[in-house]
Amino acid sequence: MAASTTTPFPGSFIVDADSHWCEQPDWFTKIAPAKYKDRVPRVEEVDGERMWVFDGNVVGRYGAGGVIARDGSKEEADIALFQWGPEMIHVGAWDPQVRLEVLDESGIDAQVIFPSTIGLGGQDLGLGDDDTLRRVTVEIYNDRMAEVQEQSGNRLLPMPVMPAWNIDYCVAEAKRCAAQGARGINMTSDPNDLGSPDLASREWDPFWATCAELKLPVHFHIGASVTGMDMYSKYAWASHHPNTALALGGTLLFIGNARVVSNCIASGMFDRHPDLKVVSVESGVGWIPFILEALEYEIEENAPKQFAEMGKSPAEYFASNMYATFWFENNRNKLPDLIDAVGEDCILFETDFPHPTCMYPSPLQTVAPKMATLSETTQKKILGENARKLYRL
């Protein structure tokens, strides 16, 4: 349990359903088997910039990955993300023991954790030509995450990433991670970027069946694919200031997960796997009622045959199979109406530590005025009880 005694929610179990690691440059090289140390992801300087290099191929830009400094201050995003080195980021951004101290200071009992600069859905670990090396690298990452979870007493819940370029590998890795105690999996929204069928294909049914059977909720973080991040880079018009472009990209990444939610519902996966749970991570909740209503209207109008085959309405599928995360929204003091429209059982609380939009250093104090508009029962569900049930805490 968290050690904080200053929480505005005494007696509540608090779960932060979205936070991030800021990967250190040697994360893979220091734990890889000797035969792979020279090939796993590492940070090298390429044309004057620090880049992730995987088996000799440049796969992405390396940055500090967060905006919280060593002293706890919060830096301007453009500076922190693109100018900081790993020595400038808060130690709790990458060190599990210090992360637990951050939780205690914040009054948080447990925290779900996602990557940063290796791809929000781990998608960059699927880039490359050597099938064995890619698979070993995913396993190295997931083994380390399982170790962190166990050593934290299940307070830190890093979501394992999947070898999304191969469906059979995903089934096997989900089973392996479940055996290690994983409480969910982190999936790219576009495995077709890596060579697999897209997620609407029934070829993925064995994977959905495995996740449902093993009670592993499938997490789709905003920007969790090569396609998603390519869209992010194009959201802002080029003439904008870099800070404004970052704000526009962040805003529209939220709405980008409307694509994920809509595709999941329209795919029929929940009819075939009614126990499957999906989480839309770091996406907010305000757009959900409109998208569900629009999706129902559009399918009924434009795909009447497929509409007739649906077992539920989009809103009913969301209520029975999906979750979204909440942290900054207040909807102009109409939060109760928004929560009622989305469903109080389908919303999880998040802080996004240590990313640019994170609530730090006092996340619970920050959200308290918003939560005060809700009943105590609803508050407890959103702040932790929904997550306690979902993650079997």
Name the CATH topology of 97-110+121-390.
TIM Barrel (3.20.20)
- Cα 291 versus chain centre, distance: 20
Our separate counts of H helices and E strands in the chain read 15, 11
121-169: per-residue pLDDT in tens? 999 999 989 999 999 999 999 999 999 999 999 999 999 999 999 999 9
Query: pLDDT at position 332, please?
Result: 67
Give me 168's structure tokens.
Answer: 């059979």
Is there a contact between 360 and 4 (Cβ–Cβ < 8 Å)?
A: no
36-79: per-residue pLDDT in tens? 999 999 999 999 999 999 999 999 889 889 999 999 999 988 89
- Domain residue ranges in the chain: 97-110+121-390
**pLDDT values of the chain reduced to their tens digit, one per residue, 393 residues:** 444 447 899 999 999 999 999 999 999 999 999 999 999 999 999 999 999 999 999 998 898 899 999 999 999 888 998 889 889 999 999 999 999 999 999 999 999 999 999 999 999 999 989 999 999 999 999 999 999 999 999 999 999 999 999 999 999 999 999 999 999 999 999 999 999 999 999 999 999 999 999 999 999 999 999 999 888 889 999 999 988 998 899 889 888 999 999 999 999 999 999 999 999 999 999 999 999 999 999 999 999 999 999 999 999 999 999 999 999 987 767 899 999 999 999 999 999 999 998 999 999 999 999 999 999 999 999 999 999 999 999
Query: Which of 359, 220, 373, 344 is CA-nearest to residue 283?
Result: 220
SS3 of residue 338 by DSSP: helix
Is there a contact between 53 and 41 (Cβ–Cβ < 8 Å)?
A: yes
d(CA 102, CA 282): 20
pTM (2 decimals)? 0.95
Count of CB atoms within 10 A of residue 56's CB? 9
Q: What is the residue type of 135? A: R
CA distances from residue 298 to 38, 292, 314, 321 in whole angstroms, order as listed: 51, 10, 11, 21
Give me 36's structure tokens.
Answer: 């792979």
